[in-house]
Amino acid sequence: MRNTTGSLAATLVLTTGLAAANGQDDGGVEMSGPALFKSYCASCHGADAKGDGPVAHLLAYRPADLTQVAARDRGRFDRRKVHRIIDGRDPVKGRGGPDMPLWGDAFKLAGGSYSDAEVDQRIESLVEYLEALQPR
C-alpha cells in the first residue's frame, strides 16, 4: 500500500507540476493559498478541505479534515507545526500519516528550481489559507 500511494502522490505532483508548466505558475497565481490548495491538496483533502477528495478512497489513511486542524490541537492553530506537517521534511510526531506527501520536496521538484525561500513561501500561503478555514 505504501508504494501504491507513494506513486499516486508522485503522479499527482507530476500532473499538477505539468499544469504549472503550462503557464499557471506565472504572475504569482500559483503562489496564492486557494490556488495552491486547489492544485495540490484538493484531490485528497477535498475542495472544501473536509478530507473527501476524489482520490481519498484510494488511500490507506483517510486524508484529514483540514477545517478541524485547530480543533484536533486543543483549539489552537499552531502555524509553525502546520507548516512543518505540510513541508514533511522535518516530520512532526503523530501528524500527517504516511500517505501525506512531502510537499517541501514536491514543490522544489515541481518548480524545477524553486529555492527554499520560494518553497517556504508557498507553504506559508497554504498555512494562511488553512488557518482561515478553521471555524471560529
CB of 27 to ligand HEC, least distance (A): 20
| Minimum distance from residue 64 beta carbon to ligand HEC (Å) | 4
33 binds ligand HEC (CB under 6 A): no
Q: Positive or negative CA dihedral for 25, 27, 30, 31?
A: positive
Which one of residues 20, 82, 119, 133 is an interface residue with ligand HEC (CB under 6 A)? 82
Question: Which 8-state DSSP code applies to residue 60?
Answer: S
Among 19, 31, 61, 121, binds ligand HEC (CB under 6 A): 61
Q: Which cell is 108 given?
A: 522544489
Q: Distances in Å between the alpha carbon of 79 and those of 9, 121, 126?
A: 24, 13, 10
Q: Point out which span in 4-12, 20-28, 110-118 binds ligand HEC (CB under 6 A).
A: 4-12
Tell me if 133 sits within 8 A of 66, measured CB to CB: yes
Neighbouring C-beta atoms of residue 97, cutoff 10 Å = 13
Residues binding ligand HEC: number (CB under 6 A): 26
- Dig out the grid coordinates for 123 from the structure: 507553504
Residue 12 touching ligand HEC (CB under 6 A):
yes
Q: Which positions touch ligand HEC (CB under 6 A)?
A: 8-9, 12, 40-41, 43-45, 59, 61, 63-64, 66, 69, 72, 82, 85-86, 95-97, 99-101, 103, 126
